[in-house]
Structure 1
Amino acid sequence: MAVIKVEDFIQSVADALQFISYYHPKDFVQAMYCAYQHEESKPAKDAIAQILINSRMAAYGHRPICQDTGMVCAFVKVGMDAKFDCTDRTITELINEGVRRAYLNEDNPLRASMVSPPHGARKNTKDNTPAIVHIDIVHGCKVEIELAAKGGGSEFKSKFKVLNPSDSIVDWVLEMLPTMGAGWCPPGIIGIGIGGTAEKAMLLAKEALGEEINMLDILARGPQTEIEKLRAELYHRINELGIGAQGLGGLTTVLDVKIHEYPTHAACKPVALIPNCAATRHVHFTLDGSGVVKLPVPNLDDWPEITETDNSQVKRVNLNTITQAEIENFQPGETLLLNGKLLTGRDAAHKRIVDMVTSGQTLPVDLKGKFIYYVGPVDPVGNEVVGPAGPTTATRMDKFTDFMLSRLGIAGMVGKAERGQATIDSIKKHKAVYLMAVGGAAYLISKSIRKAKVVGFEDLGMEAIYEFEVEDMPVMVAVDSKGTSVHETGPKEWKMKIVERIQ
C-alpha cells in the first residue's frame, strides 16, 4: 500500500503547473516545426515561426508561453489501495491548494483568470482557483494526475451536438470548424468525444487532448483501426478547409485529431469537439509515495533554431505621430512594426468605458486618435516591465467597437482572430484599421514593450487600462480602412488552392 503525503501531492501539482506554463510538450514542438517546414502561405509560416520562437524563449526564460495561463483542469485517478497521510482535506481541496501555490509563485507568477460568480459581479478570485476537477477511483495503490491549463480562446470554442445514429461525424465537424473562427489560435489539436451522455462526450473530448501527437506516424504506416481511419480523414478534411495558422489561410489548421469514445443509447450519437490552441499545456504524472514528482526537464536542443525574420523592408509605424493618411495607406496582410504609445483594454474595461461615457462621466485617459491593444498581461518579474502580453480574441470586443470608433474616435485596434461583419463595416465607415498580433507569441511580444504603466481602472487587475511604450512590435494589417479582411480572403484563397491540388 502506497502512502501519499498530502504535501507531496500539493507540491507536485504546483510544480507541474509551473512546468507546463513555460514548457511545450516535445511532440507539440516537433509537430509545429513540421507544419512550419511544410507551410507555403507566407503569413501562416511567419505566424508559426513566431509561435516556435516564443516557445523556445519561454522554455529558456521560464516565463509563460501565453499571457492566458489558463483555467486548470485536473483528471485524478485514485487507486483503491492508495492512502493519504492526512485526510482533513478533499482531493479537490488539495488540487486547489496546488493551483494557488503555482499561480502565486513569486519567481513566475501566472495570470489569475478565474472569476466568481460567473455572472453579475464576476470578481477575480486572485489565485486562479477553483480548478475543474474530475476524480475516478481505480484499481491499484497509486494516484495518477493529468493536468491541463486551458485558455479561454480555445476552451470556449467547444461544440456539442446529439447526432442521429446515421449522421456523419465528419460532416458535423467540417460544419463546426469554420464557425470557430481563429480565436482558438490554430494550428492546434482537436479533441473529439463520441458517445455516452452529453457531459460524458465533453469529458471524453477533453481527455483525448492529453494524448501524444502521432498523426504523421499513423499516416506513414497507414490507419489500422476504425478510429484511426476517422482521425486521418478528419485531419485531411479539416486541413483542406484552408483556414491555416491564426486563420490567415494556409496548409495546416490542425496538427492532430484525437478521439475517445464510449457506448451510448441506441437512439442517439452524442459528439463533442474541443480544441487545444497553440499554447497546448498538459502533463501526466503518477504519485507512488516516494515523494514529490520529478518531471523531466526538456533539452533546449529539442526546439528548432528559427531566426527572426529580416525586418529591414517592413514598415515601421510611429503611433505617437501617425496620420489618417498613413492609416488609409495600410494594405491587407502587410506587416508593420509598431512604435510609441499603445493603450490596452479588454472586455471589462470596454464595458466600463461605455457605461461611463453614456452616463456623462470623464474617462481616466483620452482615447481619441489612439490604438487599443486587446490584452491582459501577466505580472512582471525581475527587470521586466511587463510579463507575457499576447493578444486576446478581438471578436469579443465587436459589440463595443462602433461606440469606440464613433463616440471616442480611436484610430485602430490590435488583437487576434477575425472581426464580425458589422465591425468590419464600422472600421470601413470610420476609415480605421484592425491589426493582428500572433496568438501564442506572448513572451516574444512582451520583449517589444519597453515601458508599461496603469493609466485607468487599476481595480480591474489584468483587465486595467495600461499604457505601453512599444518598440518594433510586429503586427499584420488584418482589416484595412477599406474593409478588406485577411481572415476572409486568406482562407478562401488557400481553400481554392488546396482543392485545385486535389483535383
Structure 2
Amino acid sequence: MTTIRESDFVQSIADALQFISYYHPRDYLQALAAAYEAEESPAAKDAMAQILVNSRMCAEGHRPICQDTGSVVVFLKVGMAVRWETRLSIQDLVDAGVRLAYQHPDNVLRASIVSPPIGARKNTGDNTPAVVHVELVPGDQVEVRLAAKGGGSENKSKFTILNPSDSLVDWVLKTVPTMGAGWCPPGMLGIGIGGSAEKAMLMAKEALLGHIDIQELKARGPADPIEELRLELYEKVNALGIGAQGLGGLTTVLDVKILSFPTHAASLPVAMIPNCAATRHLDFTLAGNGPAVLEPPRLADWPTIAYDATAGARRVNLDTVTREDIAAWQPGERLLLCGRLLTGRDAAHKRMVDLLNSGEGLPEGVDLRGRFIYYVGPVDPVGDEVVGPAGPTTATRMDKFTEQMLSRTGLIGMVGKAERGPAAIEAIRRHGAVYLMAVGGAAYLVAKAIKSSRLVAFGDLGMEAIREFEVEDMPVTVAVDSRGESVHTTGPAQWQARIGKIPVAVVG
C-alpha cells in the first residue's frame, strides 16, 4: 500500500502551479512556432511573435505568462490502494497547494477568485478554492492533471444539445465566430461529445489537457471517426480566417481535442471550451516517494524570434495627443504608446458609472479628459519591478459602460484585448474616440514598457483599482478607428475569403 504524505501532495500542487505560470508546454511552443513561420497575415504574425518572445522572457525571469494567472482546475485519479497521511480533505489539500503557489514571494500570482459569485464578490485573496474532480481507480498511485484556466477563455465556453441527426461540424463553425477573440487565439478547442450536460462540459475541459498532436495525426491519417472529426474541425475552423488575436490569419487553432461518452438515444450533448495562448497545464504522478519532480524545459525549445516593436510603428505621446491626432490613425496601424496611461476594468468602471449616475462625480485624481484608459488587472510586483505582468483584459466586458464614459468624462481612447461590440463601436464612432488592442498572452512583455505605477483611486479593489502607468513604447494596434472601422471585423472576413474553403453563408 502506497502512503501519500500531506506535505508531498501540497508541495507538488504548489510547485506545478508555479511551473506552469512561467513555462509553456513544449508541444505548444513547437506548434505555435510552426504556425508563426507559416503565417502570411502581418498582424497575426506580429501577435504570435509577441506571444513567443513573451514566453521566453517568462521562462528566463520566472514570471507569469499572463496577468490572469487563472482559476485552478485539478483532475485526480486516486488509486484505491492509496493511503493518505493527513487529516485534511482532498479539497483542503489542493487548496493548501494553491495558496502556497499563489502567494510565493518570488513569483506572486494574481488572485482572481471571488466569493460569493453573486453579491459582494469579494476576492478570496489566495485564488482558492480550486475546482477539484476526483476519480477512484485501481492501483496504488495518484495521477494529477491540473490547469490554471484564464477567465477570458473560460468565458467563451459553449454548450448545446443537438438532435442526433444534426451536424456537429456546422454547430462548431457557426459558434466559433460568436466567441470573438477574447479567448486569445491561437489556442486549442476542447470538445466533449455525449454523456449528459455536465459530462460533456467536463470532457471538454479535460480534453484541453491533452498533448498537441494534430500534425502527427495528419501525417499518419485518422484511425477512427473521432480522429476524422478532429482533422475536419481543425481544417475548417482555421479556414474561418479568425487568426491570432482575432486579427485575421491562417491559424486560429493549433489543435482540436475531443473526448466522447455514450449518451441517450434522443440526445447529442456537445460542449466546447477554448484554451488561450497562455495555455497552462501539467501532469504528474505521486507514488509515495516524495513530491513530484518537474523537469524544466531547455531554452533551446524556444524559437529565435527577431521581434522589433519599433519597426513601422507610430510613436504616440499620450500626454499631448488630441482628438485631431487620433482621427488620422488607421485600422490595423501599429503604435508605440509613451506617457501617462490610466487603468481600470470591470469593477472600477461600475463604480465610476455609479458615481456619475449619483451626481457625485469621479473621485479626486480621476480626470479622464483627453486621456486613455487601459483595461488591465496586473500581477503584484516582486523585487525591483514597477508592476508585475500587465497584459490586457477582454474589452467587450466594458462595452456597456463605453457610451457613458465617452460622453461624460472626456475619455478619448481605450486599450484592451479582443473585439468591441456594435454598441461600443457606434459610441466610439459618434464621439470620435479610438480603441487600441494589446496582445493577450504577452503580459510580461507589456510590463517591461511600464516605467512607473501609482495608485489613483479605489485601492480596495486590489488588482482592479485605478492606477496611473508611465509607459514607454508600449506596443498596440489600432483596432477600432475614430470612424468606427474594426479590424476584428475586416481582418477575419478578408482572410476567410482569401483562404476560400468556407462559404460566408455557412457562418453568417
- The reply to whether TM is greater than 0.5 is yes
| Equivalent in the alignment of 1:80 | 80
Q: What is the aligned residue count?
A: 501
| Equivalent in the alignment of 2:380 | 379
Output the CA distance in 2 between the equivalents of 1:225 and 1:436: 41
Q: How far 1:374 moved relative to its partner? A: 0.2
Q: How far 1:307 moved relative to its partner? A: 2.0
| Equivalent in the alignment of 1:36 | 36
Residues 321/282 of structure 1: CA separation in 2 closer, same or farther (3 Å cut): same
| Equivalent in the alignment of 1:61 | 61
Q: How far 1:336 moved relative to its partner? A: 0.2
| Equivalent in the alignment of 1:498 | 499
Partner-residue secondary structure (3-state), 2:453: strand
Q: How far 1:314 moved relative to its partner? A: 1.5
Amino acid at match of 2:165: S
Amino acid at match of 1:295: L
Q: How far 1:308 moved relative to its partner? A: 1.7
| Equivalent in the alignment of 1:249 | 248
| Equivalent in the alignment of 2:428 | 427
Amino acid at match of 1:104: Q
| CA offset digits 1:219-243 (Å, max 9, x no partner) | 1122222111000000000001000
| Equivalent in the alignment of 2:369 | 368
Give the TM-score normalised by structure 2.
0.98
Contact 2:143 2:284 in 1 (8 A): yes
| CA offset digits 1:413-453 (Å, max 9, x no partner) | 00000001111111011000000000000000000000011
Give the TM-score normalised by structure 1.
0.99
| Equivalent in the alignment of 2:89 | 90
Residues 259/100 of structure 1: CA separation in 2 closer, same or farther (3 Å cut): same
Output the CA distance in 1 between the equivalents of 2:481 and 2:309: 24
Structure 1 residue 119 and structure 2 residue 118: aligned? yes
Partner-residue secondary structure (3-state), 1:176: helix
Q: How far 1:359 moved relative to its partner? A: 1.0
Output the CA distance in 1 between the equivalents of 2:63 and 2:311: 29
Output the CA distance in 2 between the equivalents of 1:243 and 1:446: 27
| Equivalent in the alignment of 1:286 | 285
Amino acid at match of 1:489: T
Partner-residue secondary structure (3-state), 2:237: helix
| Equivalent in the alignment of 2:408 | 407
Partner-residue secondary structure (3-state), 1:369: coil
Output the CA distance in 2 between the equivalents of 1:263 and 1:195: 6
Q: How far 1:305 moved relative to its partner? A: 1.0
Q: How far 1:363 moved relative to its partner? A: 2.0
| CA offset digits 1:194-248 (Å, max 9, x no partner) | 0111000000111111110000111112222211100000000000100000000
Contact 2:66 2:389 in 1 (8 A): yes
Partner-residue secondary structure (3-state), 1:383: coil
State which drifts further: 98-107 or 359-368: 359-368
| CA offset digits 1:128-183 (Å, max 9, x no partner) | 00000001100001111111000000011000011111111111111110000000
| Equivalent in the alignment of 1:10 | 10
Output the CA distance in 2 between the equivalents of 1:160 and 1:290: 41
| CA offset digits 1:12-36 (Å, max 9, x no partner) | 0000000000000000000000100
Partner-residue secondary structure (3-state), 1:73: strand
Q: Where do residues 193-212 of structure 1 align in structure 2 (5 Å cutoff)? A: 193-212=192-211
| Equivalent in the alignment of 2:50 | 50
| Equivalent in the alignment of 1:341 | 340
Q: Where do residues 438-477 of structure 1 align in structure 2 (5 Å cutoff)? A: 438-477=439-478
Amino acid at match of 2:456: V
| CA offset digits 1:34-93 (Å, max 9, x no partner) | 10001000000000000000001001100000000000000011100001112x111011
Partner-residue secondary structure (3-state), 2:192: strand
Output the CA distance in 2 between the equivalents of 1:400 and 1:351: 8
Partner-residue secondary structure (3-state), 1:30: helix
Partner-residue secondary structure (3-state), 2:164: coil
Partner-residue secondary structure (3-state), 2:415: strand
Output the CA distance in 1 between the equivalents of 2:309 and 2:198: 49
Amino acid at match of 1:485: S
Amino acid at match of 2:429: K
| Equivalent in the alignment of 2:331 | 332
Q: How far 1:310 moved relative to its partner? A: 5.6
Output the CA distance in 2 between the equivalents of 1:439 and 1:347: 17
Q: Where do residues 157-306 of structure 1 align in structure 2 (5 Å cutoff)? A: 157-306=156-305
Structure 1 unpaired stretches of 5+ = none
Contact 2:312 2:334 in 1 (8 A): no
Output the CA distance in 2 between the equivalents of 1:358 and 1:240: 45
Amino acid at match of 1:192: I
Amino acid at match of 1:83: R
Output the CA distance in 2 between the equivalents of 1:189 and 1:154: 10
State which drifts further: 301-310 or 449-458: 301-310
Runs of 4+ in 1 over 3 A off after TM superposition: none
Output the CA distance in 1 between the equivalents of 2:278 and 2:410: 34
Output the CA distance in 1 between the equivalents of 2:18 and 2:311: 37
Output the CA distance in 2 between the equivalents of 1:331 and 1:358: 34
Q: How far 1:309 moved relative to its partner? A: 2.1
Partner-residue secondary structure (3-state), 1:357: helix
Q: How far 1:501 moved relative to its partner? A: 11
| Equivalent in the alignment of 1:133 | 132
| CA offset digits 1:84-142 (Å, max 9, x no partner) | 112x1110110001001100111100000000000110000000000000011000011
Output the CA distance in 1 between the equivalents of 2:260 and 2:502: 33
Identity %: 66
Output the CA distance in 2 between the equivalents of 1:311 and 1:128: 37
Structure 2 unpaired stretches of 5+ = 504-508
Amino acid at match of 2:443: A
Output the CA distance in 2 between the equivalents of 1:110 and 1:308: 27
| Equivalent in the alignment of 1:436 | 437
Contact 2:237 2:253 in 1 (8 A): yes
Contact 2:240 2:502 in 1 (8 A): no
State the superposition RMSD in angstroms: 1.0
Q: How far 1:312 moved relative to its partner? A: 4.5
Contact 2:415 2:436 in 1 (8 A): yes
Q: How far 1:362 moved relative to its partner? A: 3.8
Output the CA distance in 1 between the equivalents of 2:329 and 2:53: 26
Partner-residue secondary structure (3-state), 1:407: helix
Partner-residue secondary structure (3-state), 2:410: coil
Contact 2:309 2:475 in 1 (8 A): no
Output the CA distance in 2 between the equivalents of 1:128 and 1:149: 10
Output the CA distance in 1 between the equivalents of 2:354 and 2:311: 43
Contact 2:236 2:502 in 1 (8 A): no
Output the CA distance in 2 between the equivalents of 1:192 and 1:353: 39
Output the CA distance in 2 between the equivalents of 1:218 and 1:500: 21
Partner-residue secondary structure (3-state), 1:264: coil
